[in-house]
Amino acid sequence: MKEELLAKFIEVFGPGGEITSYFAPGRVNLIGEHTDYNGGHVFPCALTIGTYAIARKNSSRNLCLYSVNFDELGIITISLDDLTYAKEDDWANYPKGVVWAFAEKGMKIDSGMDILYYGNIPNSSGLSSSASIEVVTGYILDQTFGFNTSLIDIALISQYAENEFIGVNCGIMDQFAIAMGKKDHAIFLDTSNLNYEYAPIQLDGAKIVIICSNKKRGLGDSKYNERRTECETALEELKKVVSINTLGDLTEEQFEQYKDAIQDEVRRKRAKHAVYENQRTIKAVKALKENDIITFGKLMNESHVSLRDDYEVTGIELDTLVETSIAQDGVIGSRMTGAGFGGCTVSIVKEEAIDAFAKNVGEAYLRKIGYKADFYVVEIGNGPCII
Ligand code: GLA
């Protein structure tokens, strides 16, 4: 991979200079969905698929960015003296946003760069291809200009770029999971204070299987911001009757006690999901630590139901995948993962059952939805690195 990309880099940008190759992973969230902007817990892990980037300084004040995935767009040239969002810069707004965010935080770069990107995360899959581009870019800036930024700060600056430059009001989960990834471990992260703990993922002869629904996420981002606003409004209503900072501060019992303060039925369902999902995540990690993957799987299934009925971010494609997955032999748990509205599901499946699982779920999906789903048996990988 690296040799091929280096050859492509030289074909696109020409030889010379000090060229360095980098990688940052994608991520999958095992449980704890739509909790990260509600002060709750998440439990994601980094993958071994992700974004490769080859980079060197150039002698101009331009960032010359090229993606093998969008080669029809050619080199996108961005002036360091005009770091504003531009629709025509397309995917390159992600790295541009990170360079902008570094500058905002006092880390201005004083030289242009040539950077070639290649990602093997399926597009629009909800496995965080954009956060992966952001984090690899932050890592490149840190390594090239010696900023000495911690990995957590790279995650926070990348999230800042996504919020303030791209305009998606995402939480910290994706960037944190990618920047702090650790092979064979998931990250139990408390998003209210960024305390975290690595939990080894030993699945007892089972594997993590991701199914990409191939449903593109069109309106996803605007709905995402809408969910966030609904939760914020519900929190304000609850604060009138109970002293809390986030929805993550409530137990299920407290929520039931105070929920009538939320004036609207839809908002009450959204807040219920946030509270219950946070508690489910805490319980799931406890179960995993006790080697009880059956309970972990059951909590994954419950997470999906809550995302379907209370948070309403699933849709027929993800529901079909999860319902048919759960009905297969050897499936320990299954749920949608990421923002929803399309994208992927994550399932834990006994190794010997994976072939039949892929066949049966694949056929059922094609029959009902009319197009194919893609299956990936994934491994948990490390965070960003030089390769
Ligand atoms: C997206 C966001 C994350 C998180 C998930 C839902 O992936 O980027 O911050 O909110 O959706 O859990």
User: Whose C-alpha lies nearest to ligand 1, atom 1?
Assistant: 339
Question: Is residue 41 lining ligand 1, measured as CB closer than 6 Å?
Answer: no
Alpha-carbon distance of 183 to 50, in angstroms, equals 14
CA of 168, closest atom in ligand 1: 8
DSSP character string of 94-118 = HHHHHHHHHHHTT----S-EEEEEE
Question: Is residue 170 lining ligand 1, measured as CB closer than 6 Å?
Answer: yes
Question: Is residue 134 lining ligand 1, measured as CB closer than 6 Å?
Answer: no
Is the distance from CB of 102 to CB of 108 less than 8 angstroms?
Answer: yes
User: Which structural domain, as residue segments, surrounds residue 99?
Assistant: 2-200
Specify the range with the lowest mean pLDDT, choosing from 123-137, 237-251, 274-288, 370-384.
Answer: 123-137
CA of 42, closest atom in ligand 1: 12
CB-based burial label for 343 (10 Å; 0-12, 13-18, 19+):
buried
Alpha-carbon distance of 275 to 254, in angstroms, equals 10
> Among all chains, which residue has been given the structure tokens 């954009």?
130
**CA diameter of the chain:** 67
- For the four alpha carbons of 197, 198, 204 and 207, in that order, the dihedral sign comes to positive
For ligand 1, mutation pick of 35, 41, 163, 173 (most atoms within 8 Å of CB): 173
The answer to whether residue 62 is domain-embedded is yes
Chain segment 100-159, per-residue pLDDT in tens: 999 999 999 999 999 999 999 987 788 999 999 999 999 999 999 999 999 999 999 999
* pLDDT for the residue 125: 83
Which residues make beta-bridge pairs with 44?
29
Question: Is residue 33 lining ligand 1, measured as CB closer than 6 Å?
Answer: yes
Chain segment 28-48, per-residue pLDDT in tens: 999 999 999 999 999 999 999
* pLDDT for the residue 148: 97
Chain segment 231-268, per-residue pLDDT in tens: 999 999 999 999 999 999 999 999 999 999 999 999 99
Instruction: Provide CB contacts within 8 A for 119, sequence distance 6+.
Output: 26, 50, 51, 52, 67, 69, 129, 132, 133
Distance from the alpha carbon of residue 174 to the mean position of ligand 1, in angstroms? 7
The catalytically annotated residue of 174, 190, 249, 310 is 174
The answer to whether residue 341 is domain-embedded is no
What distances in angstroms separate CA 287 from CA 221, 249, 314, 349, one per listed residue?
33, 21, 25, 17
Is the distance from CB of 356 to CB of 367 less than 8 angstroms?
Answer: no
* pLDDT for the residue 315: 94
Query: In the structure, what pLDDT confidence band is assigned to residue 1 with cuts at 50, 70 and 90?
Result: confident
The answer to whether residue 275 is domain-embedded is no
Radius of gyration of the CA atoms of the chain, in A: 21
Asked if pLDDT for residue 316 goes beyond 70, the answer is yes
* pLDDT for the residue 218: 56
Query: In the structure, what pLDDT confidence band is assigned to residue 219 with cuts at 50, 70 and 90?
Result: very low
User: Whose C-alpha lies nearest to ligand 1, atom 8?
Assistant: 170
Question: Is residue 338 lining ligand 1, measured as CB closer than 6 Å?
Answer: yes
Higher pLDDT, 1 or 229: 229
Question: Is residue 44 lining ligand 1, measured as CB closer than 6 Å?
Answer: no
Distance from the alpha carbon of residue 367 to the mean position of ligand 1, in angstroms? 30
Asked if pLDDT for residue 81 goes beyond 80, the answer is yes
The answer to whether residue 335 is domain-embedded is no
Alpha-carbon distance of 144 to 21, in angstroms, equals 11
- Domain harbouring 120, CATH code: 3.30.230.10
Question: The sheet that has 44-57: what strands, in order across it?
Answer: 76-79, 62-67, 113-119, 44-57, 20-29, 385-386
Question: Is residue 307 lining ligand 1, measured as CB closer than 6 Å?
Answer: no
Per the structure, the count of domains in the chain is 1
* pLDDT for the residue 216: 74
> Among all chains, which residue has been given the structure tokens 């006690």?
257
Distance from the alpha carbon of residue 74 to the mean position of ligand 1, in angstroms? 30
For ligand 1, mutation pick of 159, 170, 280, 345 (most atoms within 8 Å of CB): 170
Question: Is residue 171 lining ligand 1, measured as CB closer than 6 Å?
Answer: yes
Alpha-carbon distance of 187 to 87, in angstroms, equals 34
In terms of Cα–Cα distance, which of 380, 385, 382, 375 is closest to 122?
375
The answer to whether residue 205 is domain-embedded is no
CA of 128, closest atom in ligand 1: 7
Alpha-carbon distance of 309 to 108, in angstroms, equals 46
Q: Please state, as a whole number, how many other Cβ atoms lie within 10 Å of the Cβ of residue 381.
A: 21
- For the four alpha carbons of 41, 209, 120 and 142, in that order, the dihedral sign comes to positive
The answer to whether residue 154 is domain-embedded is yes
The answer to whether residue 83 is domain-embedded is yes
The answer to whether residue 164 is domain-embedded is yes
Q: Is 90 a catalytic site residue? A: no
